[in-house]
Amino acid sequence: MKYFSLILFFILTTLFGNGILSSYDNRFEAPLWTKSVHSSLQDTLTKSEDSTLVQTYPARALLRSLVFPGWGQMYNKSPWWKTALFAGIEVAGIVGIVQLNKKAENLRLDFEAFADEHWNFSRWIRNTPLTKSHWTSDLNIPDVWNYNGVDTTMYDVIIDGTHSLSILFQEQLYSTPCFNDTSHYCDPLYNYEDELLDFMQVVRDLHFYENIGKYDQFVGGWDDLGNAANDSTQGWWIKEKRTEDGTEILIMTRNKDKYLDMRYKSNTYLKMATYAVSAVMFNHVISALEAVWTSQSDAREKKTYDTSIGLFYNKNTQYGIGGLSFAISW
């Protein structure tokens, strides 16, 4: 039994002596030829694939996908369809944004040209009472309205209303409320003569093109309303429009109706372009999150494990062996 123990000790020392025991006492230093045996055994026990792994970093995948969706998936070596999906959405979104904005801009140019042709400032002044009191007292109401004296719908059709237009006259900028303002500054408009109306230029800015279509106050400027001087035919009608707050009453003409339709289509394309921008932004974020998730998942799946077996040295035992060690590291 004593000889068997010595033989077993010699075998263990030979195989594992170059490991843990050698760090405690050089008596356990294994012969040179056993080092290769120990190394071979350690390689066999090691569950590692470091030599074949391609390490990826979540932050790098994140930044790539934020720059261009699909790039992070390509960096992670994900299935091709992921890269194609995110990159395809990106390209389609950008193309959509450009095309939708282009259509909206073309329609904007069209409805502005239509308004320039069919809405006139001097016509608006001649066809529109100055204040609400003119309607209530039936004072100087243009014949074009065929007013019966009881229709309160017309009370919004006034020059000095809740909205205004900017007027350039005699190299000075005025606002339409000046037609009912007795201040010294507004005197050129308050005391204007009819023949001077054609010399007044309305400022055709963003607010102008919105006002003439959105508010009944400016309906008198459309050329198909009917001119009191030479045409008594009524060219306008009342339209009810449902809103979130109830029903809105609109005074319409054929040209105003067409103008509003053109503006609506332009604004619809702009809204669709905004949705496309949101889709592109979400695509960047989702692609980045997916790239990080995939990178971390791959790292967890490919995590390396290393196992080792050795002997503990104990000087108090007969043969210096204190026990057997088994370790797993990752």
Rg (CA), the chain: 44
Angle at 63 (CA atoms; ends 61, 66), nearest 5 degrees: 110
Which of 82-86, 162-166, 172-176, 296-300 is least confident?
A: 296-300
Residue 249 confidence class, pLDDT cut points 50, 70, 90:
confident
Residue 311 confidence class, pLDDT cut points 50, 70, 90:
low
Question: What pLDDT shows up at residue 56?
Answer: 64
Q: What are phi and psi of 110, to 5 degrees?
A: -70, -45
Could you tell me the two tokens for 145? Answer: 């309205």
Q: Which has the closest alpha carbon to 154: 97, 89, 234, 75?
A: 234
pLDDT at 30 over 50: no
pLDDT at 133 over 60: yes
pLDDT at 196 over 60: yes
Q: Which residues pair with 238 in a beta bridge?
A: 251
Q: Which has the closest alpha carbon to 186: 195, 176, 194?
A: 176
**What DSSP state is assigned to residue 47?**
B
How many C-beta atoms surround the C-beta of residue 178 within 10 A? 21
Question: What pLDDT shows up at residue 237?
Answer: 87
The span from the CA of 25 to the CA of 314, in Å, is 10
Check residue 138 and give left, alpha or beta (phi > 0: left; psi -120 to 50: alpha). Answer: left
Question: What pLDDT shows up at residue 203?
Answer: 96
| pTM, entire model | 0.68
Question: What pLDDT shows up at residue 245?
Answer: 77
pLDDT at 314 over 60: yes
Q: What are phi and psi of 234, to 5 degrees?
A: -75, 120
Could you tell me the two tokens for 284? Answer: 């960047």
Q: Which residues pair with 125 in a beta bridge?
A: none
Which residue has better confidence, 81 or 243?
81
Q: What are phi and psi of 27, to 5 degrees?
A: -65, -25
Question: What pLDDT shows up at residue 178?
Answer: 95
Question: What pLDDT shows up at residue 164?
Answer: 95
- For residue 246, give the H/E element and its range: strand 246-253
The span from the CA of 89 to the CA of 46, in Å, is 44
Average of pLDDT values for 197-221? 95
Query: Which amino acid would we find at residue 307?
Result: T
Residue 266 confidence class, pLDDT cut points 50, 70, 90:
very high
pLDDT at 113 over 90: yes
Residue 8 confidence class, pLDDT cut points 50, 70, 90:
very low
